[in-house]
Structure 1
């Protein structure tokens, strides 16, 4: 738990004290992008240089040459020849530019997105479940994933801005130094003022983005409820729920608008200063007066040079402005990259591939004074649980909602570690065992199981499989499905094991009923052939006959295995070797079905309430 709290603190204080410098964050993305698509990144830099280089040749040297020809009465053929050379150069550079804009961008940009997303998905599959229970960390997690592609886009834009700005400063700067050095002072003052304004504006924008993020998540959730088919029936049967959700959407929307309103005045004022107040007054107003005076009164500047100088102030101002924006934009992007890097740098407490080897075969599982709570300030969910389970023993865990049944199972699976106490398997503390190997020994059916957009075989094996691999393992997969009572449905599926589950990505796919889906989920545990089976409400979506068939199948499939049943339906648990009844996180009764009925306690009370269904 301490490790979790440290991680949360680091994540939430990233705004005030970034983990790394702005430069290091941009270098992080450069290395990722260059490693993924080196030629694309090289051309991206070249394209920015080429673009401004051609503009300088055409709009500065070219126009200046033509104007000088007119001003000093040079032959028209000289101007025509120069114009022709510029046109030819433009035609030649348009060809690779078209490939870059309309071809390579669409081909290579998705690869950059995928490279970062793959790292994030791999990390997401390894982070501790503690992280999902921490709202602050989860907010940062969602923000980093949602901003990953935008962070790359902003980085590429920053690269482009940097190269263009450097090119303009180098070419136009030399031109100014040779023609009118004092003009640079006007642009430089504008640059300093714009830099300060841009930094303040970007800081306001980032703070606003962070503030609206929780409200946007809520609004997005309501949106999903209205378009996902999972909720369609409930919304039609309970229209008031839809009305309430619409109100919550409106409240979230109002909260977003309120956050925007808080900074609207400051944003408008800063944006005005950035776009108009600084540049238009200093450059367009004062500098043109200065040039006219030098050309018309002092005669120290040619009219053609005066035109080019004033014309080019826009480009030089834009270049300076881009430099002024570079720092704040890089800082803004860096704050998002900080969250991405913090997420990628998170070290899980449970290292999948670290720890001792797990002894072969079913072993004794023991809990000694185990207590657990999800946060340091939260309530105790499990309190001083001690339990020893022999190899091959079938244990039923029962109790009313909130008793701690599912939490106990999560601890047994080592998805969490106890707040206090210890859990051992084969006489070794499970915290010393390799999690990946330990998890392989456990087959589980969660109460909130999920079906994935893959074929049936992959939904059983829970792995990506080729056609040849499915055909090779077909007997084992079919046996697992049959053991779970899916045999009749399997025989009537159009493509048998290759049938696509859900119609979301394949019109020929099949949407299974709740009971059918649960049977597929159960078949996963049978296919795994693990030493420990955990069934969390395994028959909740099954009819009585299917439940009876499942119980019979379990007797065969679970022979010699250690089995834990969690169920409110006591018909599933009454044949267990031992029944554990939990209440408020403590074991209040323990024994066989007949022993607990004889005690006439809480278990007997629960049984009698349901007995009419079984007698």
Structure 2
């Protein structure tokens, strides 16, 4: 059974879509201020050598095997078509014994079959496993890098898009680059070998072949460019049609599609997207067909079917400097050289250029630095200490207006603090700064008189248990979901679930699988049950501080009451800071901070704030009216 972290490494793509949607609003603001980087910071050759070096470091045998395999796949067949056929024809025309001819045919067959067998053995018994290991190691490298990135990186739309492209195309890039390198090396060796053979037969034959290929190379380059542009346009149009595929297979859209009459509209839009793909193919068809015809007529018709045979016929029949075998060998070698030159100078360059752009994004991602740096000290996760927030201000990258302005707050040990206010007041941002998911633009946060920037990031975050508003449930066991660790303590997991009010029957106890990504028997939780699992994480973790962002958002009033009661009891020896829009949860808080437009506008206990009859009292009475009106 895969471990928690192995499963997290292959989470479904829908998580990317959800994260994208969560931050869409902020991205719209950021995108206006983010400067567009150059598409390629390194040369094509530099990028190809870089990724080849990475792959060689992770799996040297696979890279070497692919290079050798490229030679084995290409060279034997072309050698046979040149030397093998030449020997047989010369042997027949010179009256050699049949045994020698049979021997030559047998040797040719053995070479071809042997090459195929070696290639088959390599791919079936080594390549598949080695490739998967390489995928795993490369993706693991990417995931470890992603974990070290600041949360701010995800708010940068250009960086995030490059990050997603890097993650999603890593496996495709590996296979594409290995395949291209294999064919490139094979064609280089083939070109050098066949050209050397033809040069020994007649240097002028080689001159004619190279001259014809080079003369029509501009047409080949134009054809390659058209095919590349078609592939890019196809990708764009296919991306549109893929959107509809996601709608019909992702659970996120299932209810809306079934409860409304939107299917005909979606199918109509899908048909339009499919028509665009077909129209794009039709738009390029005539141009590509024209240049393909020009290339075939020029290289094969004019060059290899007229000029080259004319010269070879002259040498064989008039000058008698070449044999019939030389004629066929040169003719076959011409095709081999033409294919190699076209591949090496046009097709491979176009594909390498395309791959290099993605590799450059990969390099940029690996080189990206994080702004939140470790301090020199290690924080102790012992008993709660006083938290002081002094003159704290924060502006999200890309925004002109600050989200938090001059926040001052003191939280004493074991206090239960509530942050309330309208949406966008800055409550979640303040807790993110406490956790050092972001660093403040100005001001400071002190714990026991020590700036949190003076300790390492991990040791600081280990002092906190946090349940986020946009929490996630992972495709692993209930125990692993609560502990967020590979070795959960069953007793502590059950205790934490009890405090959160989780009461769903678990067929396999804490080993029960959640979701069905890896186990068909996995159970599906409701929104409220998922939230209780998320809240249980805060009870499970042994730490002095707990941050809860909307811990009862998906709960009914009774479950909310029970959760608040359990939370206060279980967190008796911890400092708790929680955000809530349901003000009934704040009644028992030691202190309530009211936030508006990034500022603290009021502070006090429930009774004190109600007596002031300010914003808090207005919000509380407004919510209370909903319940009292129902009772009346």
TM norm structure 2: 0.85
2:324 alignment counterpart? 303
Q: CA deviation at 1:146?
A: 2.1
CA contact (8 A) 1:202 1:329 kept: no
CA distance, structure 1, for counterparts of residue 402 and residue 286 of structure 2: 47
In structure 2, the CA distance between the partners of 1:377 and 1:270, relative to structure 1 (3 Å rule), is farther
Q: In structure 2, do the counterparts of structure 1 residues 260 and 77 end up closer, same or farther at CA, with 3 Å as the change threshold?
A: closer
C-alpha RMSD of the superposition: 3.2
Structure 2 residue aligned with 1:580:
593
Q: Deviations over 1:223-245 (max 9, x none)?
A: 333312233223323444x6676
**In structure 2, how many angstroms separate the alpha carbons of the residues matched to 1:399 and 1:255?**
48
Question: Helix, strand or coil for the counterpart of 2:561?
Answer: helix
Alpha carbons 2:475, 2:513 under 8 Å: kept: yes
> 1:292 pairs with 277, 290, 313, which one?
313
Shift of 1:297: 4.2
How far apart are the structure 1 equivalents of 2:516 and 2:59?
35
Q: After the TM superposition, which residues 439-478 of structure 1 pair with which residues of structure 2 at under 5 Å, given as runs?
A: 439-465=461-487, 470=488, 473-478=489-494
Instruction: Please state whether the residue corresponding to 2:573 is helix, strand or coil.
Output: coil
Could you tell me how far apart the structure 2 residues matched to 1:259 and 1:454 are? 44
Query: Are the equivalent residues in 2 in contact too, given 1:140–1:339 (CA < 8 A)?
Result: yes
Deviation at 1:420, TM superposition (A): 2.9
Indicate the residue corresponding to 1:114 in structure 2. Answer: 136
The one of 32, 37, 46 aligned to 1:13: 37
**2:619 is the alignment partner of 1:606:** yes
1:194-593 correspondence to structure 2 within 5 Å: 220=242, 222-240=244-262, 280-324=301-345, 325-351=347-373, 355-359=376-380, 360-465=382-487, 470=488, 473-486=489-502, 488-489=503-504, 492-593=505-606
Secondary structure of the structure 2 residue equivalent to 1:449: coil
CA distance in 1, matches of 2:486, 2:598: 39
Compute the displacement of 1:27 (Å).
Answer: 2.8
Contact 1:404 1:583 in 2 (8 A): yes
Shift in Å at residue 434 of structure 1? 1.1
- Aligned partners of 2:228 and 2:350 also within 8 Å: no
**Whole-angstrom distance in 1 between the partners of 2:149 and 2:264:** 37
1:146 to 133, 149, 168: 168
Give the CA deviation at 1:358. 1.6
Query: Does the 8 A contact of 2:78 with 2:336 survive in 1?
Result: no
Which of 88, 92, 100 is matched with 2:110 structurally?
A: 88
Q: Deviations over 1:547-605 (max 9, x none)?
A: 11111111122113221111110011121111111222222222211121112121111
SS for the counterpart of 2:584 is coil
SS in 2 for 1:356: coil
Does structure 1 conserve the Cα–Cα contact (< 8 Å) formed by 2:73 and 2:116?
no
TM-score w.r.t. the length of structure 1 is: 0.87
Q: For residues 371 and 232 of structure 2, what CA distance do their matches in structure 1 show?
A: 28
Measured in 2, the distance between the counterparts of 1:558 and 1:68 equals: 94
Distance 1:256 1:145, change over 3 A: farther
Specify the SS of the correspondent of 1:453: coil
CA contact (8 A) 1:126 1:348 kept: yes
**Equivalents in 2 of 1:318, 1:567: separation in Å?**
69
The one of 98, 110, 118 equivalent to 1:76 is 98
Query: Residues 330 and 504 (structure 1 numbering): CA distance in 2 closer, same or farther, change over 3 Å?
Result: closer
Distance 1:528 1:93 in 2: 59
Q: 1:50 to 1:188 in 2, by over 3 A?
A: same
Structure 1 stretch displaced more, 270-279 or 115-124 = 270-279
Give the one of 48, 51, 55 matched to 1:26. Answer: 48
Instruction: Please state how far the C-alpha of 1:339 moved relative to its aligned partner.
Output: 0.8
C-alpha distance in 2 between matches for 1:275 and 1:393: 82
Q: Quickly say closer, same or farther: Cα 1:577–1:281, change in 2 above 3 A.
A: farther
CA contact (8 A) 1:531 1:561 kept: yes
Do 1:355 and 1:435's aligned partners in 2 also have CA atoms closer than 8 Å? Answer: no
Q: CA deviation at 1:164?
A: 1.4
Determine the C-alpha separation between the residues in 2 that align with 1:253 and 1:381: 44
* Partner SS for 1:182: helix
User: Shift of the alpha carbon at 1:198?
Assistant: 6.3
Is it true that 1:99 corresponds to 2:121 in the alignment?
yes
Cα distance in 2 for partners of 1:357, 1:505 equals 38
> d(CA) in 1 for partners of 2:276 and 2:453?
44
Secondary structure of residue in 2 paired with 1:572: helix
Number of residue pairs the alignment of both structures matches: 596
Bigger mean CA deviation after superposition, 286-295 or 428-437: 286-295
Question: What does residue 52 of structure 1 align with?
Answer: 74
Contact 1:47 1:97 in 2 (8 A): yes
The DSSP-based 3-state class of the residue aligned with 1:398 is: strand
Q: Which runs of 5+ in 1 are unaligned?
A: none
- Cα pair 2:72 2:119 within 8 Å, conserved: no
> Does the Cα contact within 8 Å between 2:70 and 2:182 map onto a contact in 1?
yes
Aligned counterpart for 1:167 among listed residues 189, 204, 214: 189
Distance 1:202 1:369 in 2: 61
Shift, 1:270, TM fit: 6.4
